[in-house]
Every structure is written in C-alpha cells, then in structure tokens.
Amino acid sequence: MIKNISNLGDAALYCDFGKEVNKDINTQVIKYFKTIQKKNIAGVNNITPSYNKLIISFDLKKINFNKLKKAIDNLEIIKGDSIQNKRFEIPVCCEKEFSLDIKRLEEKLKMKEEKIYESFFEKEFFCYMTGFIAGMPFLGDLDENLRAKRLDTPRVKVPKGSIGLTEQFANIYTFESPGGWNIIGNTPLNIFDSTKEKEPNLINPGDLVTFKRISKEKYQNYHE
Amino acid sequence: MNKNYFEIIRAGINSTFQDLGRNNLYHIGIPFSGAMDNRNYLLANKLTGNNDNDPVIEFAYQGPNLKYHGDKINIAITGDVSFKIKKGDNLIDGECYQSLILENDDELDILSTNKSVYGYLAISGKFDLKFQWSSCSTNTKAKIGSNNGEKLSDNQKITIKEINNNFVNRKLNYVNTKIENIRVIKGTNFNYFSEEGKKIFFKNEFKVSKLSDRMGMRLEGKKIENIVDTNIRSEGLIKGVIQVPADGNPIIMLSDHGTIGGYPKIGVVVSADYDKLVQLTPGSKVKFQEVDLSSAETLFKLYDLETQNLISQI
C-alpha cells in the first residue's frame, strides 16, 4: 500500500510504498499503476512505476496536486490481473572493449573478475520495471557481494547493448545514452524496437531473465 | 505530387521536428519530448494560423539554411533568432514573431539563436511526416519520431504535403527575457545534503556546462555535499528535476530526459520557469530560489495567462 504521497515539483505526485525493495511491494506498485491507467484521470500525463515508488505527472492546466492526491487517496485497486512471466536468455560478451568498469568493480567489490562473472551468470533475474531510456529493464537481485554504487560522474555516452550493474540490480542499455552504471559486458541482442508501437519492449515487468556468456566471435556473427 | 519542399543546404546543429510531445509512455522508458520552449512553439503555430499541436522545426544555436521550392507559403520564426531571406539578388534581414512569405527559389538562412538556445520555424500547412505514438517529436537518442528519429541532415529534402492558402499577415511585439533566478521546489531528497550543501544550492551561482542538450542541463559550481547516500533506489523522473550525483554538480532533467534515475533529487524547477530555463546557453550563470507548492501553482497560472494573452494578440 502507499505509505505516503507528497509532491515532486508542482506537477507530479510522489507515491512512496516504503523503503524496501522486493517482489511483493513491486507487485503492489504495478497494481496501482494498472488501476490508475484504467481510470484515465483527466490531466494525468504519465505514470511511472519503479521498485517501490510510483510517480504520477500531470498537466498543471487541467488538475493540481491536491485534487489528484484526493483522487488517488480514494482509489480502489482493481483485483486480479496477475503479471505474466516470460523467460529470456540474453547473450553477453565480456571482452575488454565491452567491460568498461570491470576493473572498478574488482577494486570496489574486492573480488577477482572471474568471480564477479561467475556469480553474475549463475543468477536468474526478475524484471522490476522498465525505463530510464526506452525499454531498459531493471533486473534484480544481484548477490550481496556484487553490489556497488553508480559511477561518481555518469558517463556522457554508454554504448548500446551495455550490461550495467548497480546496487542489487542489473540493466541493459537499449541504445547509446548517458548513464552511471558499472558496465561489465555487451549484448548483440536488440532489446527495444521502436517500430513496434504496441510492444516495443522485449522484456517487461515480471519477466525472468538469465545471461549467457558468449565469445567475441559469436558476438560479431550474432543474428537474431 | 509533392512539388513543395525545402532543400536543406545546411542542416544546422540540432534541427528536429517537434510538437507538443507524447504522453503515457514513461513506464516503458519513452520520455515526453516535444518542443523545449513551449511558449515559442505555440506562438510560431499561431503566427502561421496552424493548430496548437502542428509540427514545427526546432533548431538550436545555428539553424538550417533552406532553399524553398514550390508555391507561395506563409512561415514564421520565433525565439531570439537572426535570419536572412534571399529573394533573387535581394538579401532581407528577417524579423521574428511575424508571418512571412516564401516563394519559389527563396532561401531562408537561419544563422543564430543569438543569446538563447532554441528557436522555431513553422510553416502554414503540413510537413509530410510519419508520427510515432501520435507525435512527430524527434528523440535522436532513442531514434524515435519523424525523420527516422534523426536530426535533419545536409542535402536532405523536407516535403510539404499541404499548404494553407489563406495567407495571413500577423505580427506580435514580443521580446524574450532571460532568467537568472530559477525558482525551485525542494526535492524529495533535499535532506540528503549537508546544511552547507543546502546553503550552496540556494545561495551560490552555478554555471551552465557545455554538456547540456535536450536530455539534460549539467551545471558546475561549488560542490553540494551529500551526507546520507549518493545513490537512491532508481525511481521515476519528470522534467525539471534536479539530481545531484556524487560529484556534487547538479543535473537538470529536460524534455528528452531518462524516465528513471537513481541520483538524489535536491529540487524541481517550477513549471512556470521551464521555457526560460531551457534557453540558457552554456556559460550562463544561474541561481536557485526556493518557492513552495502553492506559490509555484500561482506562478504557473500567471505564466500561462501571459502566454494566452500573447496568443490572443496575434
């Protein structure tokens, strides 16, 4: 349930579901998201679910914080609609040219490169949300020993296909973008396709993802 | 067929098609986009007798140099823009905020946005464009929108599928003013910063960095110290959010911003100041000034009234 609603600037509601991050809380967030989406409240521009927050931005010409807060406070959550799980295996090449931050991680985590990869490729991940850039999946949870902070200054350009780690999560840069995650490899797979207006994202919240290490040769000759 | 078109002699630095942007896609990571300076965008469309949401060409710093081929057409340029129109051997200095007429073989050379960043070119009629998620707005990073999600390039053609033949003669007296104090509502992580850091944020000057574009504006100044955590759990963003990463320099989210972010939010720029914020050129000095929610709402009402008032004068 929402623990607190505050304003984010003058044109957004910040709904806080608490500090913890787990599948149950995330599922609550998604339920609110789906309910509000179906309600079609006049003036609401965007609803952004994340691990444990929901941000609702609106057109200040049509509605304001207090009115929208009242509407959300009185909302009845739609039941059912369980989230479907699809499974994906994402090929990743970890050659030097792709693993931009592996040395930083070795240092921060005090672990050898091979151990980091071993632990990463063993894991099955849950997709909590998509966003930042179009189609980027936020996947959890990394083992405790792989959790590092973002770069102190985000990169201006992270290459398309980069696999990044930060805290308990992994992500995939669906195209070149600025970003501050620790980059450990690159996938040749296309994760976002803007020509598909209905389903542009390969991976969606609730899906399960594993990563498979591939050679540089395989990477270069990869065909979807 | 399409006998009316612009030939791009020089595309300019970042010329893209824009409209009011696209809604309800943040949850899959697609930002709002749309014209950066909403007021100047609306005025360009009004001056050419278009609808509010019609596509225009937005340009930054140096605009395009276009050769026009086709029937007589109304155009208008808004912003703080220097441009020239070449009619045969005559070179005419262009004036912003008035409807102008282009004829076959005329050349429109948009030289500079002077001491601002963005300007707008509207034509009275319709460009021949593909829309994505009901908007032409071009997000070059995500390759979304018209022109295959790319900015305009040299030697390209811009086809016009429809010309409005009700020629208008419209003019507006308007001068863009520059902003130095940006009004801000405290962010959801305001308390992550030291007392000294908070003071720096509201008292010191910051300089707009060269690393600024349609996604974000990076600022440089005295480091804002974080005493809680330099990361937060990634969560939604909106335009105008000011994040402070570990290096202590604020980054303001602009129209093509990432929809999710994990740096603490020290503040959010009020909606009323957004159009003027985006026009700040690299090197400009800014200060942040705190306001509360109800003042921000009032400021927006005034800003919107002023925009409506300008539109009604056209």
User: Nearest C-alpha of chain B: how many angstroms from A174?
Assistant: 9
- A63 and A109 belong to one structural domain: no
Min Cα–Cα distance to chain B from A178, Å: 9
Is B173 within the bounds of a domain?
no
Q: Which structural domain range is residue B99 located in?
A: 5-163
Judged by CB atoms closer than 8 Å, whether chains meet at B293 and A197 is answered as: no
Give the residues of chain B that fall short of pLDDT 50.
Answer: none
pLDDT at A84: 66
Contacting B residues, span 237-256, partner chain A, CB-CB under 8 Å? 237-238, 240-241, 245-247, 249
| Amino acid sitting at position B231 | N
Q: Would you state the pLDDT for residue B131?
A: 96
Which residues touch B111 (CB under 8 Å, ≥6 apart)?
Answer: B62, B63, B82, B83, B84
Do A216 and A125 sit in the same domain of this protein?
A: yes
- Confirm whether A82 is domain-assigned: no
Is B136 in the A-facing interface, judged by CB distances under 8 Å?
Answer: no
Q: Same structural domain for residues B9 and B158?
A: yes
Q: Is beta strand A87-93 parallel, antiparallel or unpaired with respect to A208-214?
A: parallel
Q: What chain B residue is nearest to A173 in terms of C-alpha separation?
A: B142
Q: Do B132 and A197 touch (CB under 8 A)?
A: yes
Task: Share the mean pLDDT of chain B.
Answer: 96
Question: Which residues of B fall within a CB distance of 8 Å from A200?
Answer: 28, 30
Using the Cβ of B266 and the Cβ atoms of chain A, whether some distance falls under 8 Å is answered with: no
Nearest to B26 among A10, A48, A64 (CB): A48
Read off the pLDDT band of A218 (50, 70, 90): very high
**Domain total of chain A:** 2
pLDDT digits (tens, 9 = 90+) for A83-116: 667 999 999 999 999 999 999 999 999 999 999 9
Question: Does the structure show a pLDDT above 90 at A76?
Answer: no
Name the minimum distance, in Å, from the CA of A165 to any CA of chain B.
Answer: 12
* Domain around A30: 4-73
pLDDT at A205 (0 to 100)? 85
Closest partner residue to B270 (CB to CB) among A9, A129, A167 is A9
Q: What CATH number is associated with residue A45?
A: 3.30.1360.40
Give chain B's largest Cα–Cα span: 66
The pTM is what? 0.92
Residues of B in contact with A10 (CB under 8 A): 185, 268, 270-271, 293, 296-297, 300
Please indicate, yes or no, if residue B45 is contained in any of the structural domains.
yes
My answer on whether A105 and A36 are in the same domain is no
Structure tokens at A215: 């050679």
Give me the percent of chain A exceeding a pLDDT of 70. 97
**Do A50 and A114 fall within a single domain?**
no
Mean pLDDT on A26-38: 91
